[in-house]
Structure 1
Amino acid sequence: MTCSHCHVFNAYNITMATRIFQLFAIQYTDTHLLTSTKVVGLQFFNTIKAQFIGSLPRPIQFQPSPLLHRHFHIMTTAAPLHNTPAHNLSESSRIEAAGQIHAKDTSYIPRGDTTATLNYFRPPEDGSVPFNYVEEPPEGQPQRNFGDFDIQVPITDIRGIESHYNLDKDAFEVILGVPESAEKEFRDDESIKKNYYPEVEKLILDNVPGSNQVFIFDHTVRRSDPNAHRGPVARVHIDQTSKSAKQRVRRHLPEEADKLLQGRYRIINVWRPINGAVQGNALAFASSATTSDEDVIPVEHRYPSTTGETAGIRYNEGQKWHYLSGMTNDERLFLECFDSESLKPGTKVQGGRVPHTAFVDPRTPEGAKGRESIEVRCLVFGP
């Protein structure tokens, strides 16, 4: 005979043990998502699950972590435990809880879908043309005349489904398994141009169908350091517009410009981390197919001797945001800022421009490694 206290004690132990194993399953999944040993992972999970549950006072039904469902495709045939109110978490609450779990693990890399605050464009109140001074503005002028506002948006992790996205539809594309670069430090501009630029040019020619000429016009190294020259940009934007793309062709390739502008020309940024897997300030990007022309607002980018044009982005709930969790040094992200093919009637290119921004994932642990990255901007021609 078992007393009522024993029933309570056993139920408590089962609940706590199940929770501990769920946390272990989450951590195990986070640690091994980037490996190719999904079958081994599944066998490991099933073995530990059987041993663990078999040691409990009575049979129970166990629900593995949603992350395991997603990455190992685990099937359960028995009815799950009924959730208590504490388990009925909203998406944002679940993300917050996950962040609290890993708050003290400085090696933790956030993975899976998330919700984060993005900073959007707010037009000038007086209706004037938006502008931004790159350097010190003239006396009496503000640095910029437009505002911004924050809003929470869902962001989908495309880890494992990278091939679902491409430049013509989404204006972004992921390249995996890139060989180690000859450039190691990414601190000297001339060394970057000598060692890294040729690698970027080859990468584009090998992976952008029909491309036959690449001209790299600049690069930016960003570091999450208060003393760094440039840090991650936490504002939704596009680097170039149709107007500035044409200006770039004429500025950098004046003798060939007329001929090149008759064919297909694009601006593609090649983005990558340079200090290992990204923990914080990851890059989010919205599919061009979900971004309307009305969302894209030209902004004058004023230099001392010339004026370019970038784009601010209005919020639209139809925009679909994505990121690639734990992006590593051997991965590249193509970000298309402009594609002349998108201007033609009946084109298959859906916009040809990708809004993007750095964002703070609420699950990022305190003391996480700062993100360091390089973005190389390229004029791409052909076919």
Structure 2
Amino acid sequence: MADTHGQVRFLRRSDKWTTEKPFFMYSQPDRDEDPENVTNLEFQTQLLDITDIRGQEDDFKLEECGFKVVHHPPALVDFTTLEHIREYQKDVQSALATFFDAEHILVWDFKQRKTHRENSVWNLNNQLEIDTTIKEAHNDYTFVSGPIMIKNQLIKNDLERYLRPGYRFRMVNFWRSLLPVAEDQPLTLCDFRSIEPADVVACDRIRPDRSGESFYLHHNPNQKWYYLNSMTRDEAWVFVTYDSAAGNQARFCPHSSFLSPEKDISLTTRYSVETRAIVITKL
């Protein structure tokens, strides 16, 4: 396997997190805010040993480690209208319904990312905008914000039908490269089984229209990080960011882009797309 090293930023371990909750506030595009008033997060860069799972993809199960590689050629790779986004979301919904044998799927979010954001002014609510890659080890939801997001996104009839005993709710990310091969700043994922409770810290995420909570990760040398070498556009990561079921299964999956310390400047700039979905299955 083509194992590698990669630089990832982790939440710095600090005594202040015992009395002060981490937060990050998204500022309005038309406001000039002091960065000190936007976040209290403190990060440190760590060089990780990252294991390539190429050739051993079937050994990594979603229920066990929190992630899985699936083969799924994209319905389209150019997104210039909202209709293109809706078509892609429907295609992902179909793939997830088959993968999970789901009772109900709602693909509610869509995000394109590049290494560098092209627009200086960015609209959080415009799905056609292209965001930057995320270089911090994080998980999109916590055990508090996951249920809140599910209730906010599902319509009343679906809440009445599924929000009762006998159903399992998962928040799932479906990630792929929009380039033929992912080379620059690929995605790395942490095996849930290698995470210790003290590694995980909840962080408030404050937006102009709503607030939420995500997990940031402290570095621990016992953590196991993985990637897929030369990942093609027809391959996708499926990973869980919240699971309502209690038990020994993976309940979330920290992840991040990573930067090779021997980065080749000739590599094509990373361009990826991800969707977030609510997956409902029977227990």
Q: Same fold (TM over 0.5)?
A: yes
SS at match of 2:37: coil
Supply the AA of the counterpart residue of 1:156.
T
TM (norm. structure 2) is 0.87
Counterpart residue identity of residue 190, structure 1: E
Deviation at 1:124, TM superposition (A): 6.6
Displacement of 1:261 after TM fit? 3.4
1:375 counterpart = 2:274: yes
Q: Residue 273 of structure 2 aligns to a residue in which SS? A: strand
Q: Which residue of 1 aligns with 2:177?
A: 273
2:142 corresponds in structure 1 to 241
Task: Write out per-residue CA displacement over residues 130-177 of structure 1, whole angstroms, 9 at most, x where no aligned residue.
Answer: 11112248967621112000111100001110011111101100002x
Q: Indicate the percent of aligned positions where both proteins have the same amino acid.
A: 24
Which has the larger displacement, 153-162 or 301-310? 301-310
Q: Deviations over 1:264-320 (max 9, x none)?
A: 000000000112101110111001111123222111110123211111111111110
**Post-superposition offset of 1:190:** 3.2
Higher relative strand content: 2
Which residue in 1 is equivalent to 2:225?
A: 321
Task: Work out whether 1:186 is the aligned partner of 2:79.
Answer: yes
List gaps (5 residues or longer) in structure 1. 1-69, 71-111
CA distance in 1, matches of 2:268, 2:105: 34
**Residue in structure 2 matched with residue 121 of structure 1 by the alignment:** 11
TM-score (norm 1): 0.65
* Cross-structure match for 2:68: 173
Q: Distance in 2 between matches of 1:319 and 1:285?
A: 10
Does 2:89 correspond to 1:202? no
Correspondence 1:224 to 2:125? no
Query: How many angstroms apart in 1 are the aligned matches of 2:155 and 2:74?
Result: 34
1:259 Cα deviation (Å)? Answer: 4.6
Q: 2:244 aligned with 1:340, yes or no? A: yes
User: 1:203, CA displacement in angstroms?
Assistant: 0.7
Q: 1:254 deviation in Å?
A: 4.5
Q: What is the alpha-carbon root mean square deviation over aligned residues?
A: 2.0
The structure richer in helix per residue is: 1
Counterpart CA distance in 2 for 1:119 and 1:279 is: 19
Larger radius of gyration: 1
**Letter matched to residue 261 of structure 1:** L
Matched length? 264
Question: Gaps (5+ residues) in structure 2?
Answer: 120-129
Gap change, CA 1:243 and 1:185, over 3 Å in 2: same
Tell me, in whole angstroms, the C-alpha distance in 2 between the residues paired with 1:135 and 1:260: 36
Question: Higher relative contact order by CA 8 Å / sep ≥ 6: 1 or 2?
Answer: 2
User: Displacement of 1:184 after TM fit?
Assistant: 3.3
